[in-house]
Structure 1
Amino acid sequence: MKRLSILFLLLSFIATAQDNLSTQLSLEEYLGYVKKYHPVIKQAELITSTNEAKLLKARGSFDPKIEVDYDRKEFKGKDYYKKLNSTFKIPTWYGIELKGSYENNSGQYLNPEHNTPENGLYNVGISVSLAKNLFINKRIATLKQAKLYTQQGELEQQLLVNDILFEAINTYLNWLQYYQSYNVYKDYYTNADTRLKNIRKSFKAGDKPAIDTLEANINLKNRKLDLEKANIKYIKSKLELSNYLWIGNNIPMEIKEEIVPDVTTFSNIDTILNTSVTTLFDNEFENHPKLKLLELKKRNLEINKQLKVNNLLPKVDFQYNFLASKVDNFDAFSTANYKNSLQVSIPLFLRKSRGDLKLAKLKLQDIDFEIASTKVSLQNKITATEQEITSYKKQNDILKNLVNDYNTIVKSEERKFSLGESSIFLINYREVKLIESKLKEIKNEYEYAKTKGKLVKLLGKLNSL
């Protein structure tokens, strides 16, 4: 499969940033590509289309129907019989069916009950279920359930898109985290290299002992090792990000080295994810897509229960047809000429129907328990996530102060070293603590932004970004 570079899709951004050595890919731009081109997002759209097709199929049960039955037998020159029966049926919502038909039968050996006038026999009538299948039957239940499936499909699509966007956001934030970590190691590798060069000059001038050059050289190697580890993590995170970047016709994209994340993402995460108001969930709890989906499933099971109750009723089917030999006008049909039938069927023990009904009731109880537990679970997860956000915010303030303090200590130690009052060992030690604090700060910012995304995911609103 042809692999294209995202660089070509960002030409407009490059044009406006020609003085920059690299091009930023913001989280908003990235999510725009994901929502528009990602195959799983497109796959989610098929859920709704599939359920709409099922609804169309269910409605087909109520389509009018034309039937023609022609049967003829001729043997050794004898016309045994000719039978023609054409019927037009119109199913209705309840257990009623309208029917009109035309019969024209003849023949030497025709069963007398099939005899018709010379010009045929017309009949118009009605078929109705007087007990079982009158107000609910499998045809009606299927259509009602298909309508619910269409609504369920829309909610399932929302939830699937919500999950994909959450994973995509986490991948971007992970890429940003490792990018910033890589830059931290890169800066301090440069510092270590510069420090080694200065100490070597001082050693040659007789101002510093040889052991300091060895100490500085060891520190440089450690920084180089840390930088290489950070680099491979950054490369892997970039490749993971590429999994979510596609263009039309299902063509994957590859991020070139020049593309970097937007370093202001962490500080702007509230604006990007619309999470400045975290009490939104309290006002729209009942409209959560997961809860609405469960409610629709419950309604589906209620329809199934109605159908099972219907099966407990006796089967009483009645048909009545007006007969006429010609149909010049509707008055041709008279109550004096008719054909009717009555069919009655009553199971004695109803064990199968009662068993089905009991199972339907148990499924309803099960969905009620699931709805109740889901509500509590969502509420607790929302509360826990909000507490996490508050905690990460406090940790971030502490870490910023720590970074500033360690930075001050490192600079102070370097001044003392230049005056001969400190050692390269103490500088390296202080610097290690400063690097650890900066990495902790980056990690905390990542967790803070990730938790913000988790909150929006729990709200079921990532797909509305």
Structure 2
Amino acid sequence: MYKINYIKDIALLLLLFIPALTYGQAQQQKVLTLQEFHQIILQHHPVAAQAALLSEQARQELRIARGTLDPVIASKVYRKEFGGKEYYNLWNNTLYVPLWFGPELKAGFEKNQGQYLNPENTTPSDGLSSVGISVPLGQGLFIDERRATIRQARLMQDIAEAERVKLINKLLLQATKDYWDWLFYYQQAQLYQESVGLADFRLKAVKARAQEGDLAAIDTVEALTEVQTRQVLLQEALLGYNNARLMVATHLWAENETPLELQENTIPAIVGSEVATLSAADLKQLLETARTNHPDLRKLTLKGEQLQIEQRFAADKLKPKLNAEYNLLQSDFYMRPEMWDNRFMGENYKLGLSFSLPLFLRQERGKLQLTKAKQQTNALEQIQASREIENNLLAAYNEWLALEEQIRLQQQMVENANILRNGEVTRFENGESSLFLVNSRELKLLEAQVKLYNLQAKYAKARTFLYWSAGSMEAK
């Protein structure tokens, strides 16, 4: 009686048929590595473009702030005529040049005439030119609104950079998690696909042996049920795989905000999910990186510096306004060398001194106290954020270590399950076991292998989260 050598046929299937099929597929498949995936995201993803615009916005804010130091030219012309009489013609031109350290330079030319001209506005026939300076002696001497705004705008550039890094880190964190899910479902689908092929081959072998009378007919039902069970598992795995591919595809963009589709023959790379021990020195370096460069802490530190500038400006408001102004005059538009002579300067000038001070200073004192309260709030928030970031990083590190140990144990469980499966197959061939037990052992092996894939995906996610917690996601 002809009998199929079950063990040899199974070995033939595993060594020839399945590897050949996988090799044929690999010739057509394109591997998308995690690094390539990140590069595509950083180049064209809308969120990455939005993050880049934050730096541009900050540069323009600084440009606006510096505009307060732009020279200003002003010109005014007034004419009055009534009842056929010309009352006056007034023409006044002024150039203002603010200086960074507080004073303001001023140059002007005015030419006025008319029968009813106010004597104060009387000028020589060739006009009256002036050049002078206005100096704050009280409020505004060391800091003023212009200088405070520009300094805060400079810090805003660094804050925008920290916010940009935060957005990119968040984007890459989610994208990387989706990538590892994609890898897990891909491995699971591949495993179940191979198991369906193996169960189908076994069904054919059992049918042949049943026809020869070597096995009971009921074994064919057992083998068919196992094929159907694995087909259901394969369909569930394919559903998860296709959904994971869609989630990965949502992060793929081309130029001009054009969404990209993930091709059917594109598969994930396993590189990055392998166990890689993190030393104590590396952990210490990550903690130091988190303390100095984490975007959330950088933003709070820079905000504190902005509040220091705001406090200086608010304290300066408590001083009285005391401004001195001196203008040198001459009787035409063109400046003559003799105008810088001491005698000329002492006989042709316009001098002014202004003083003002609120009696109660309630607005100024309230602003100063409000700024100090904001500083205390920011300092407390910084302390809390620093503690949370450090603890989140340590928690991620603990999870990484735990998963590393779980993976080692699960690998041993896979090896043990494989030994038990092979032993059960041998017993079945010797007539000492049943097809049900063989299938049970094989399902246990599949479950152990799927759990190993799941742990490896979790391990890769934990590694990603660890570096994200340190604020260095963009570099990974």
Q: Same fold (TM over 0.5)?
A: yes
Answer yes or no: is 1:234 the counterpart of 2:241. yes
Instruction: Give the secondary structure class of the aligned counterpart of 1:420.
Output: coil
- Give the whole-Å Cα distance in 2 for the aligned partners of 1:323 and 1:100: 10
- Verify the 8 A CA contact 2:32 2:268 in the aligned structure 1: yes
After TM superposition, give the deviation of residue 316 of structure 1 in Å.
2.0
- Verify the 8 A CA contact 2:113 2:123 in the aligned structure 1: yes
- Give the whole-Å Cα distance in 2 for the aligned partners of 1:95 and 1:412: 90
Q: Which of 326, 337, 359 is the equivalent residue of 1:320? A: 326
The amino acid of 1:340's aligned partner reads L
- Verify the 8 A CA contact 1:270 1:452 in the aligned structure 2: no
- Verify the 8 A CA contact 2:136 2:322 in the aligned structure 1: yes
Q: Which of 92, 97, 107 is the equivalent residue of 2:114? A: 107
After TM superposition, give the deviation of residue 235 of structure 1 in Å.
0.4
> Can you give the 5+ residue segments of structure 1 that lack an aligned partner in the other structure?
1-16
- Verify the 8 A CA contact 1:393 1:448 in the aligned structure 2: yes
After TM superposition, give the deviation of residue 371 of structure 1 in Å.
1.1
Q: Per-residue displacement from partner, 1:405-454 (whole Å, max 9, x unpaired)?
A: 00110111111112211112212221221111111100110111111111
- Give the whole-Å Cα distance in 2 for the aligned partners of 1:357 and 1:264: 56
Answer yes or no: is 1:425 the counterpart of 2:431. no
Relative to the length of structure 1, the TM-score reads: 0.91
- Verify the 8 A CA contact 2:71 2:96 in the aligned structure 1: yes
**1:401 matched residue in structure 2:** 412
**1:10 matched residue in structure 2:** none
After TM superposition, give the deviation of residue 289 of structure 1 in Å.
3.2
Q: Per-residue displacement from partner, 1:310-332 (whole Å, max 9, x unpaired)?
A: 22222222222222224322336
- Give the whole-Å Cα distance in 1 for the aligned partners of 2:391 and 2:323: 54
After TM superposition, give the deviation of residue 343 of structure 1 in Å.
2.4
After TM superposition, give the deviation of residue 74 of structure 1 in Å.
2.2
- Give the whole-Å Cα distance in 1 for the aligned partners of 2:281 and 2:201: 44
After TM superposition, give the deviation of residue 275 of structure 1 in Å.
12
Instruction: Give the secondary structure class of the aligned counterpart of 1:321.
Output: strand
Q: Per-residue displacement from partner, 1:72-127 (whole Å, max 9, x unpaired)?
A: 11234321101111111110123311111112111011111111122222222221
**1:287 matched residue in structure 2:** 293
- Give the whole-Å Cα distance in 1 for the aligned partners of 2:276 and 2:254: 26
- Verify the 8 A CA contact 2:424 2:438 in the aligned structure 1: yes
- Identity among equivalent positions (%) equals 36
- Give the whole-Å Cα distance in 2 for the aligned partners of 1:409 and 1:317: 95
- Verify the 8 A CA contact 2:181 2:457 in the aligned structure 1: yes
After TM superposition, give the deviation of residue 362 of structure 1 in Å.
0.8
- Verify the 8 A CA contact 1:270 1:276 in the aligned structure 2: no
- Give the whole-Å Cα distance in 2 for the aligned partners of 1:68 and 1:450: 66
Instruction: Give the secondary structure class of the aligned counterpart of 2:123.
Output: coil
- Give the 5 Å matches for 1:143-182: 143-182=150-189
Q: Per-residue displacement from partner, 1:113-166 (whole Å, max 9, x unpaired)?
A: 111122222222221222122222211111111111111111211121121112
- Give the whole-Å Cα distance in 2 for the aligned partners of 1:201 and 1:278: 60
After TM superposition, give the deviation of residue 263 of structure 1 in Å.
3.0
Answer yes or no: is 1:68 the counterpart of 2:79. no
- Give the whole-Å Cα distance in 2 for the aligned partners of 1:314 and 1:455: 54
Instruction: Give the secondary structure class of the aligned counterpart of 1:362.
Output: helix
- Verify the 8 A CA contact 1:166 1:454 in the aligned structure 2: yes
**Equivalent residues, number:** 447
- Give the whole-Å Cα distance in 2 for the aligned partners of 1:54 and 1:154: 14
- Give the whole-Å Cα distance in 1 for the aligned partners of 2:48 and 2:283: 27
**2:467 matched residue in structure 1:** 456
After TM superposition, give the deviation of residue 276 of structure 1 in Å.
10
Q: Per-residue displacement from partner, 1:19-48 (whole Å, max 9, x unpaired)?
A: 713221111222221122212112211111
**1:305 matched residue in structure 2:** 311
- Give the whole-Å Cα distance in 2 for the aligned partners of 1:350 and 1:28: 60
**1:127 matched residue in structure 2:** 134
- Verify the 8 A CA contact 2:185 2:241 in the aligned structure 1: yes
- Verify the 8 A CA contact 1:322 1:339 in the aligned structure 2: yes
Relative to the length of structure 2, the TM-score reads: 0.89
Q: Per-residue displacement from partner, 1:355-377 (whole Å, max 9, x unpaired)?
A: 21111111100110111111111
Could you say if the C-alpha distance between residues 19 and 202 of structure 1 is closer, same or farther in structure 2, counting changes exceeding 3 Å? Answer: closer
Answer yes or no: is 1:38 the counterpart of 2:45. yes
Structure 1 range deviating more: 148-157 or 68-77: 68-77
Answer yes or no: is 1:387 the counterpart of 2:388. no
**1:93 matched residue in structure 2:** 100
The amino acid of 1:261's aligned partner reads P
Answer yes or no: is 1:22 the counterpart of 2:33. no
- Give the whole-Å Cα distance in 1 for the aligned partners of 2:296 and 2:280: 20
- Give the whole-Å Cα distance in 2 for the aligned partners of 1:406 and 1:233: 25
Instruction: Give the secondary structure class of the aligned counterpart of 2:260.
Output: strand
Answer yes or no: is 1:225 the counterpart of 2:232. yes
- Give the whole-Å Cα distance in 2 for the aligned partners of 1:280 and 1:438: 35
Could you say if the C-alpha distance between residues 28 and 287 of structure 1 is closer, same or farther in structure 2, counting changes exceeding 3 Å? Answer: closer
Could you say if the C-alpha distance between residues 233 and 192 of structure 1 is closer, same or farther in structure 2, counting changes exceeding 3 Å? Answer: same
- Give the whole-Å Cα distance in 1 for the aligned partners of 2:264 and 2:109: 79
- Give the whole-Å Cα distance in 1 for the aligned partners of 2:197 and 2:318: 84
Answer yes or no: is 1:191 the counterpart of 2:192. no
- Give the 5 Å matches for 1:331-350: 331=340, 333-350=344-361
Structure 1 range deviating more: 309-318 or 88-97: 309-318
Answer yes or no: is 1:414 the counterpart of 2:425. yes
- Give the whole-Å Cα distance in 2 for the aligned partners of 1:381 and 1:118: 79
After TM superposition, give the deviation of residue 282 of structure 1 in Å.
3.8
Structure 1 range deviating more: 122-131 or 277-286: 277-286
Instruction: Give the secondary structure class of the aligned counterpart of 1:278.
Output: helix
- Give the whole-Å Cα distance in 2 for the aligned partners of 1:100 and 1:266: 71
Answer yes or no: is 1:263 the counterpart of 2:270. yes
- Give the whole-Å Cα distance in 2 for the aligned partners of 1:167 and 1:156: 17
**2:283 matched residue in structure 1:** 278
- Verify the 8 A CA contact 2:75 2:92 in the aligned structure 1: yes
**1:207 matched residue in structure 2:** 214
> Can you give the 5+ residue segments of structure 2 that lack an aligned partner in the other structure?
1-23
**2:364 matched residue in structure 1:** 353
After TM superposition, give the deviation of residue 280 of structure 1 in Å.
2.0
Instruction: Give the secondary structure class of the aligned counterpart of 1:260.
Output: strand
**2:86 matched residue in structure 1:** 79
